[in-house]
Amino acid sequence: MSTPRPSPEAAAPAEHASNFIRQIIESDLAAGKHASRRWSGSPAPGPVHATGTADPASIRTRFPPEPNGYLHFGHAKSICLNFGLARDYGGACHMRFDDTNPAREEQEYVDSIRDAVSWLGFSWQTGGASNLYYASDYFETLYQFAEVLIGAGLAYVDSQNADAMRASRGTLTEPGRDSPYRSRTAEENLDLFRRMRAGEFADGSQVLRLRIDMASPNINLRDPAIYRIRRAHHHRTGDAWCIYPLYDYTHCISDALENITHSICTLEFEDHRPLYEWILERLVELGQLLRPLPRQIEFARLNLTYVVLSKRKLIQLVEERHVSGWDDPRMPTLAGARRRGYTAAGFRLFTERIGVSRADSWIDFSVLEDCMREDLNTEAMRRVAVLDPIRLVIDNFALGQVELCQAPNHPQKPELGTRDIALTGELWIERDDFNEQPPKGFFRLAPGTEVRLRYAYIVRCTGVDRDQAGQVTTIHCTYDPTTRSGTPGAEARKVKGNIHWLSTRHAVPIEVRTYDRLFDVQHPGAGDTDFLLDLNADSARTTTAFGEAALAQANPEDRFQFERLGYYVADRIDHGPSKAVFNRTVSLRDTRPARSDQGPKSNS
Ligand code: ATP
Ligand code: MG
């Protein structure tokens, strides 16, 4: 799988609305808040940065996924936001793998995340520097900082077991109780911590905790654990460590080492912000970091109807084989979206359109689909395919005669030219473009009525052939040679219907995979029900259809509008010279009834 090179113009700033994060950045820039920062060329403690030159990046943001799954649509919002801000303000956005939890992380996930960010059109290369980082590269620095905190009496080794620690943490209304080990001396703690690192203690038998305040109303400040013992193989550091730093400790320090100015995260971290600031402030006082410190800013995560955006649930879908894999075109992963034919520009447009706020809300899935349609409408070449074919014979069209009809590749972009579609006396048309007993308002083909064969002639239906069961097998018609599209006077005769068709001799067989939403309810699993019960039983259908000859030349990932039907993409895995395979990305328009959305019901 090759990583597409992001094209700079592809991710060029769209017209964007301001938001509270942009306002913070603009006021910081106007005040010169970050102008004094120095940068040593790579992440480092403050005194090392101090020896560097003025930081060339006006701001630094970061995208910090944990490599324990594939990225989903929610991550796309975070990526577009962080990389987009860096781009717009002359800054840099770091790609940082937050890989401090050895058990759940894998190289496969690292690779898929790198692919997904590049595919979205963003790059962690800025001004010749590659800002690709791994929190695991900071293990030694994080360890040294912990020793400094211990030396200052700000951290201690707790030898209580997990149950005892939990029992003494207190509740939202009750303060916690001090651990009996809280008053260990710095010497004793340092000795114990070094022995933790050396592997002298069993997993889970000791933890290193910050000494903050067991009575704090914010539970995150009640002496949080920052190191635990865990003998597990790490995907990058192997067996070098048997102690691993925890998230709250790692994250803020990683930001500071990387000179991050604006550390943007989702709202559930708001209660962690005091801890983020406590740790960094102490490390400034202890001479390990310099001001200005990174500032944590929270925004509302993306909640999208009809999908699940939780790694745990996505892993379950894959492992229990409800889908074919992480890149199943129905998966709300970026790998799935790409295979489905969704576009990077569509995601960027979506991010702009939904905006950034601090208020949680639900976005209807149709908003995302509309953004994809909008982008595909401007970008996708038009092609003809007949998905559910029935034979149409033009009885007065000379046997063996072939006429080439010119069809524009894109109706709004004449510069994209035209292609020829062969017309003969025997065609495929869509079964539902014919109706023997047409209801009122049916303007397509019916006995005795006329339609235009798009880019060709007007035909009149003269009769049908049937099989023994009475089913229509062939429709007969005659054409009017004076009505060829694009010839003088052709448009003089008005018909209401305009249908697509393919010559049976020239059409090529194609496999079409018609995808629909993976879940058929707005909030799968709402009210603590099993989200798997909400799977849409009819979300993937594979059929054999016909396409115009030009489709045989399509390359994997080429996207088309199949006229009158929808947007389709040549499957990036299965499409090839021996078999043409197209996935339906999205229908031409949303035919679902409009709905209002109040968010998930608390129980249902
Ligand atoms: P988990 O915590 O279950 O592992 P996660 O979705 O939070 O999963 P991370 O790898 O921690 O995954 O996320 C990386 C970044 O993406 C974080 O900064 C996170 O805030 C952001 N992010 C995750 N989900 C969303 C979402 N739904 N909307 C916006 N940003 C998101
Ligand atoms: Mg997370």
Count Cα atoms within 13 angstroms, Cβ side, for 493. Answer: 17
The tally of CA atoms less than 13 A away on the side-chain side of residue 334 is 29
Question: Is residue 282 annotated as part of the catalytic site, yes or no?
Answer: no
Q: Which protein residue has the closest C-alpha to ligand 1 atom 7?
A: 65
pLDDT grade for 4, boundaries at 50, 70 and 90: very low
Annotated catalytic, 440?
no
Distances (CA, A) of 512 to 385, 477, 539: 10, 28, 13
Confidence of residue 599 (pLDDT cuts 50, 70, 90): low
Kindly name the residue from 104, 177, 236, 301 that is annotated as catalytic. Answer: 301
Mean of pLDDT over the chain: 94
Across 48-60, average pLDDT = 97
The reply to whether 321 belongs to the active site is: no
pLDDT digits (tens, 9 = 90+) for 515-568: 999 999 999 999 999 999 999 999 999 999 999 998 999 999 999 999 999 999
Q: Does position 44 have pLDDT exceeding 90, yes or no?
A: yes
pTM of this structure: 0.93
The H or E element containing residue 252 is helix 247-257
Identify any residues that bridge with 130 across adjacent strands, giving them in sequence order.
125
**Is residue 498 over pLDDT 50?**
yes
> How many angstroms separate the Cα of 101 from the Cα of each of 104, 112, 237, 251, 416?
6, 18, 11, 12, 51
390 class by beta-carbon count within 10 Å (0-12 exposed, 13-18 middle, 19+ buried): buried
Output 66 or 604, whichever has higher pLDDT.
66
Domains of the chain, earliest start first: 8-137+250-312+341-354 (3.40.50.620), 140-245 (3.90.800.10), 385-500 (2.40.240.10)
Q: Is the CB of 67 under 6 A from ligand 1?
A: no
**Pick from 87-101, 327-341, 590-604: least confident:** 590-604
Asked if the model's pLDDT at residue 11 lies above 70, the reply is no
**What is the mean predicted confidence (pLDDT) over 140-161?**
98
Q: Mind spelling out the 3-state secondary structure of 289-321? A: CCCCCCEEEEECCCEECCCCCCHHHHHHHHHCC
Cβ of 309 below 6 Å from ligand 1: yes
CA of 66 to the centre of ligand 2 (A): 7
Residue 595: pLDDT over 70? no
If you take atom 14 of ligand 1, which residue's CA is the nearest one? 65
What DSSP assignment string belongs to 55-96?
Answer: -S-S-EEEE---SSS--BHHHHHHHHHHHHHHHHTT-EEEEE
> What's the per-residue H, E or C state across 12-36?
CCCCCCCCHHHHHHHHHHHHCCCCC
Given the residues 22, 33, 38, 66, select the one marked as catalytic.
Answer: 66
- The strand pair at 385-386 and 540-547 is best described as antiparallel
Phi, psi of 574 (to 5 degrees): -95, -15
75 lines ligand 1 (CB under 6 A): yes
